[in-house]
A and B are shown apart, each in its own frame.
Chain A
């Protein structure tokens, strides 16, 4: 296919026209442009930012609750399962396997790869985005990206301090990690849905029908 590559690049080189205000162009083509607009809604901080986050999470048809520490996460999961009359079984994805699950012996917490297709999945988010109420989930060692999309119920754990104002602030943090961008970065905003039947939105297309967020203060 190298022939095709040459052809394409030759055609582009032959046809492309420089921008009229080429003077403004940076030497480094992917130098980050600081002039892109970030909406006011994505520029909040402190309480206003968290309020915006909660508002957008709810608008995306996800639910949200706050707990005061990591220790309280297992009880929160048990409460959620009871509320939805679900059996006491879940798959804890990657680092979510490290919560103090022993506090809730009634809950069957599974952590092996054979269980990724469970009806309830608990997973940790890398960051939350206030502007849109999105959760950023990343692939990492010992973690299943597929399980973000397989269950009926997806429960996402997010440390309070990882709520950021905008996508841009998340990209900053992604760059600060060592190495390349993770293989898979999922921005999840509410449950899976489709508008393919007469333009009506129906929740739970191929992915989770419900997304529940537990914010750890």
Chain B
């Protein structure tokens, strides 16, 4: 997918002044955040599970090739096919090839962020195949021709009346004055609209939350049931996923299934977890005749063994973005690529290059709330900080910033000179701002004073006062040495 990460600041400025978006984002606190807190609070073993999950993921990454081989051989053994894709292009072509071989006209799709990474919908449409998103959020966005703004709740940036307007416009055969004021009515209408599409589809495409090496199963974790209809009714099921999603055993899957729904939506369990292994068996009534797994690398293998490897542990729960104050202020579209929020800021530079995306890892106060809630304990802030180091090392930061930081370090490693200068600065600001208690304009820090006053210093610095006290022996019983 093409990116607009480098316009993050401009995107953010627009988002901040969009009252509808702000209204939608304002619901995260009492919504997904509160629900996660309640669900986690009811499971005393939650932290132990997080440690297990991190251990399992690290164990997988240490032998990723072996687990992938094991998975592949189980899929083949059960009559499925595996397609390896080094690049997004490889993956798109693999999917198209499968669709064309069965003469597919329409494909239904379950929610999949990897297919967003591939811009698969546009690619299929350009090749004469109609993709139909069936997850409610994704369906709404497909009608609106928008990208998801969240990896779990793709239409979280919209309010109910936005969606009602979209449905009135898109479901033109229905009475335009019908009542769509309750979410139940919107859900019911989408259910009706999509039901026949499920039966008519030639191919069903889903993602995979996990690939289980032991059994060759792909696993999807859902609430609506759309992904299940997508992968059960058409004659071909294509799973599009990425190399890091493999886990060893069914027991390991259970560990992740305890973490994912609680972290994502605050549910103890989602309505559905479905394991798919190969094509349908001879006497099964339903299930696809062909089962394909397209496994994309897309730059991930280069993270293996690097300091940032843990970013591959992500299970795409979205908790980091639900709790991130920056995401909460600007929403997902501002980030400009597939994965928003802290995980996006940590992952995107690895996949599309820090040159195009350095604005993302910089857009964090390092408040650490994302790390606190991450179910697999990814050190997101450390990883963002390392991208900043790479940006600085490659001299992608502004020369003004680089010079400023060097000058600061030069000065602050000379305590005598430093204290003389800070003494003068404090005194100067005090003289200017004494009466009002704050400055309303500051050189080099208009970003501060545009929105806030800069409080006036008390006057003499701490060190100046300590020196003076030492001289007059009114030293408070403190050694100043």
Contact = CB atoms under 8 A, between A and B. Distances in A.
Does a CB–CB distance below 8 Å link A and B in the complex? yes
Interface of A: 1-5, 7-9, 11-13, 15-19, 22, 25, 29-30, 32-33, 35-41, 56, 59-60, 94, 113, 116, 132-134, 139-150, 166-168, 171, 174, 180-200, 202, 204-208
Interface in B233-272: 233, 243, 248-255, 257-258, 265, 268-272
Nearest to B309: A17
Central interface residue in B67, B77, B184, B254, by most chain A CB within 10 Å: B254
A167 B265 CA distance: 20
19 contacts: A1-B90, A9-B68, A12-B65, A13-B65, A15-B306, A17-B62, A17-B309, A29-B63, A60-B269, A139-B287, A140-B284, A150-B229, A187-B272, A187-B274, A189-B270, A192-B272, A198-B27, A204-B184, A207-B228
B233 A146 contact: yes
A32 B215 CA distance: 12
Interface in B217-231: 217, 223-226, 228-229
A12 B304 contact: yes
Given A12-B304, A19-B62, A139-B280, A132 B228 contact: no
Contacts of A37: 45, 48-49, 52, 255
A30 B83 CA distance: 22
A88 B400 CA distance: 78
Contacts of A189: 268-272
A132 B268 contact: yes
Given A37-B52, A194-B224, A195-B265, A149 B255 contact: no
Interface of B: 24, 27-28, 31-32, 43-45, 48-49, 52, 56, 58-59, 61-70, 77-78, 83-87, 90, 94, 134-137, 140, 153-156, 158-160, 163, 183-184, 186-188, 190-191, 194-195, 198, 213-215, 217, 223-226, 228-229, 232-233, 243, 248-255, 257-258, 265, 268-287, 295, 297, 301-306, 309
Contact of B283 (A32, A41, A142, A146): A142
Given A36-B255, A168-B254, A195 B153 contact: yes
Nearest to A134: B269
Given A146-B285, A171-B254, A189-B272, 4 more contacts: A3-B86, A5-B84, A11-B304, A30-B70
B228 A194 contact: no
A38 B48 CA distance: 9
Contact of B252 (A33, A193, A204): A33
B278 to A, nearest CB: 6
Contact of B134 (A13, A195, A206): A206
B142 to A, nearest CB: 13
B252 A186 contact: no
A142 B63 CA distance: 40
Contacts of B280: 139, 183-184
B31 A199 contact: yes
Contacts of A13: 65
Given A33-B249, A167-B257, A197-B187, A15 B228 contact: no
